[in-house]
Structure 1
Amino acid sequence: MGLLRTILIILLVYFGFKILARLFAPLLMRFVAKKAEQKFGEQFGGFQNANQKRQQQKQKEGETVIDKMPHQNQKSNDKVGEYVDYEEVD
C-alpha cells in the first residue's frame, strides 16, 4: 500500500508541475524578455544618446554639416598597357 501511495504522490507532483509550468512559462518568458530588452536598451541607448548630444553640441542652428566626403574625380590612366591581339587555337 505504501508503494502505491508513493507512486501516486510522485505522479501528482509531476502532473501538477507540468500544469503549473504551462501556466507560468509564458509569464516567465515575458519577464525575461523584458529584462533583456531593458539591459540592451540601456547599453545601446547610452551610446546613441552620447552621439546625439555630441552632434548637437558641435552643430549650431542653421549650419550645414556634411558627414560624407565626396569622391574625388580621378582621371583614368591612358598608359595602362598595350592591346594584344589574340587568335583562338582549336
Structure 2
Amino acid sequence: MDTAGVPNFIRTLAIIILCYYLFKFAMRLLAPYLIQKVAKKAEEHIKKQFEQQQQNHQSTPENKEEIPKKDKKVVGDYIDYEEVD
C-alpha cells in the first residue's frame, strides 16, 4: 500500500495542472464554434417568435369595432357610518 508522500503529491499536482491547461486550450479552440451555434439557435428562436407575432397581427381584423368598456364596476350600496358616542 502506497502512503501519501511528496512524489505522489507532485504527480497529482502535475496532473491537475496539465488537465487545467488542456481544458483551457480546448476551450480556446471550441469556444468560437460553440458561441456561433448558440447565437444561431437564438436567432432562429427570435425569427420564429417574430413570425408568430406577425401572423397574430395579420389574423386579427383591422376594422374591428371596439366595444366600450365599463369604467366602473357596481360592487354594492354605499353606506356611510357615523360614530355614536
Question: TM-score scaled to structure 2, two decimals?
Answer: 0.57
Q: Which residue in the other structure is 2:17 paired with? A: 11
Q: Which residue in the other structure is 1:26 paired with? A: 32
Output one character per residue of 1:30-82: Cα deviation in whole Å (capped at 9) or x when no partner.
01000000100000012224545779xx9xxxxxxxxxxxxxxxxxxxxxxxx
Gaps of 5+ in 2: 1-6, 63-85
SS of the residue corresponding to residue 18 of structure 2 reads helix
Q: Which residue in the other structure is 1:84 paired with? A: none
Instruction: Map residues 1-90 of structure 1 onto 2, 5 A cutoff.
Output: 1-51=7-57
Gaps of 5+ in 1: 59-90
Question: Cα RMSD (Å) of the superposition?
Answer: 2.0
Q: What is the identity percentage for the equivalent residue pairs of Structure 1 and Structure 2?
A: 41
Letter in 2 for 1:23: L
Count of residue pairs the alignment pairs up: 56
Question: TM-score scaled to structure 1, two decimals?
Answer: 0.54
Cα distance in 2 for residues equivalent to 1:53 and 1:8: 65
